[in-house]
Amino acid sequence: MSPKVGVAPLRREQIVRATIRCLARDGYAGLTMKKVARTAGVSQGILHYYFADKRAILVAALEMVMADLDRRVAAAQARGPRDPRARLRALITACLRLATEAREFWVVFVEFWGEMMHDRRLREINAALYRRVRRQIGALVAQGIEVGTFRRVDVVQAAAVVLALVDGVSLQLTFDPRAFGAAAAVRLCEDVLTRYLEKEAP
């Protein structure tokens, strides 16, 4: 029997959040539908109503953490100035803080990347996600060039460089939070990107 109207989205979210907790605790290799059902407090029958298999639930977990990150970025950008440099800084800050404030979310990324190396469909999902994020970053770089804040660079390449820097530093924060804090990580990325993107003083 299908869930009552209005219950389905809440139940689905409950299951996906349980999946994120299981991934953070046991990794994808240790993830089972039984563990997820137990953690979510639902029957395996209910779980299979929403998700056919482990891959489907992994994709749902990735979608949830990306939606959370999108909200964080949008909120950070809304609070600050509207110029491209400030908006890029807000994006970077939101991403790095996710690694320290919600470490289990970054674990989802790591587990997804590991599985996508052996699954073409997961690689396609990841490629589409990265294209979207690079477009978002590239638009800010292009705006910065247009208003004279950034030097003229290849926008597509610059977006890939910015994303690679954020990914790399976020992974270090996830693996070893004692290496440096989020504030220090933001300063580091700002310094690197200032040297890379901004015009030299005359």
Q: What is the pLDDT of residues 22-42, one digit of tens each?
A: 999 999 999 999 999 999 999
What are all long-range contacts of 55-60, with beta carbons under 8 Å and residues at least 24 apart? 55/115, 55/119, 55/121, 55/122, 57/15, 57/16, 57/19, 57/31, 57/33, 58/19, 58/23, 58/28, 58/31, 58/111, 58/112, 58/115, 58/122, 59/122, 59/125, 60/12, 60/15, 60/16, 60/19
Tell me if 132 sits within 8 A of 91, measured CB to CB: no
Pair 61, 47 in one domain = no
Write down the pLDDT at residue 5.
55
Is position 17 within any domain?
Answer: yes
- Residue type at position 55: R
- Residue type at position 72: R
Predicted TM-score of the model (pTM): 0.89
Pair 112, 80 in one domain = yes
DSSP 6: T
Write down the pLDDT at residue 1.
47
Q: Which CATH number is 147's domain given?
A: 1.10.357.10
Per the structure, the complete domain to which residue 75 belongs is given by: 57-197
**Region class of 2: left (phi > 0), else alpha (psi between -120 and 50), else beta:** beta
86-105: per-residue pLDDT in tens? 999 999 999 988 888 888 99
Pair 110, 45 in one domain = no
pLDDT along the chain (202 residues), means of 10: 68 96 94 95 93 95 95 92 92 89 91 95 96 96 95 95 94 84 88 85 48
Write down the pLDDT at residue 178.
80
